[in-house]
Amino acid sequence: MFRRAVLGRLAKLELGQLTVVDRCGAYEFGQVGTHGLMATINVHDRRFYRDVVLGGGLGAAEAYIRGHWDSPDLTAAMRVLAQNTEVLAGVEQGAARMLRPLRAAANWLRRNTRAGSKRNISAHYDLSNDFFALMLDPTMTYSSGVFPRRESTLEEASLEKYDRICRKLQLSPSDHVIEIGTGWGGFAEHAVKNYGCRITTTTISEEQHAYAERRFREAGIDGRVRLLKQDYRDLSGKYDKLVSIEMIEAVGEKFLPGYFAKCSDLLKPDGMMCLQAITIPDHRYEDYRKSVDFIQR
């Protein structure tokens, strides 16, 4: 039943071709077309189908972690699925929808109060700096980049993103910038070295704080960077510019009004703010806000 439901949904693929291989054979869905998208997934355990039907995209991710399926080119598989989100949305509307209240209740226990935020951030970012260094570029940037050229490296994309933010904020040596969400210190280092501003930056991750502290010291900019280990709600002072790079995702919908109120309070009357955020199509937002995604899990 679960297998039939998943394969039936895949039969509606419109963009790209996906081949599913399980113990019963190989099945092709969709067509390559002019865009050339094609991928294969190998199902090693029939529980994969159950996980997808009952858990939707989150179930598929957890099934991958358990080794129930894999792909010779995971990036290609994700691209095919990403091009067919509307078609695959039907999986999320089935049995998976019935389990949402249970997941939402569990997620409520992890809401982003001061204590909750500390626990949540630690659970993710304090896995170890060495772990994140395995997958991040040399700038240790954990947010979307801006690729100036198709052949640009991830490091070049990160630096271009940082510089674009600096340009948008019109940074100058006279500016004092508050950064909500230090990360591993990439933006602060770039801004201070290239624009001469002063930066106060905060993180509640122990690992990130230790890394950034060492980074600023070794770069010789610790005299122009004030590194805090403080929840954004407890920040004070007035600043010329404010920057927050993909930190808003960790705020939580309930706390968004307070977050923006704090940002406003931290800025001088003529101050400027640059916010980088992960977005979602408007028509999917209402459904998403009631769901629990992989990172929340």
* Cα→Cα distances 47→53, 60, 213, 216, Å: 10, 10, 46, 48
What is the rounded CA–CA span in Å between residue 198 and residue 268?
15
Domains of the chain: 2-98 (no CATH), 129-283 (3.40.50.150)
pTM given for the model: 0.79
pLDDT value, residue 105: 47
Sequence-separated (6 or more) residues with CB below 8 Å from residue 70: 41, 42, 44, 64
**Are 59 and 68 in contact, with CB atoms under 8 Å apart?**
no
pLDDT value, residue 116: 77
Torsion of CA 167, 194, 241, 234, to 10 degrees: 140
- pLDDT tens-digit profile, the chain (297 residues): 889 989 998 998 888 999 999 999 999 999 876 677 899 999 999 999 999 988 888 889 999 999 999 999 999 999 998 888 877 776 665 555 545 554 554 554 556 777 777 787 888 888 899 999 999 999 999 999 999 999 999 999 999 999 999 999 999 999 999 999 999 999 999 999 999 999 999 999 999 999 999 999 999 999 999 999 999 999 999 999 999 999 999 998 899 999 999 999 999 999 999 999 999 888 878 877 776 665 655
**Are 199 and 179 in contact, with CB atoms under 8 Å apart?**
yes
pLDDT value, residue 97: 55
What is the rounded CA–CA span in Å between residue 203 and residue 250?
12
Cα atoms in the Cβ-side hemisphere of radius 13 Å centred on 80: 26
Torsion of CA 178, 196, 213, 235, to 10 degrees: -10
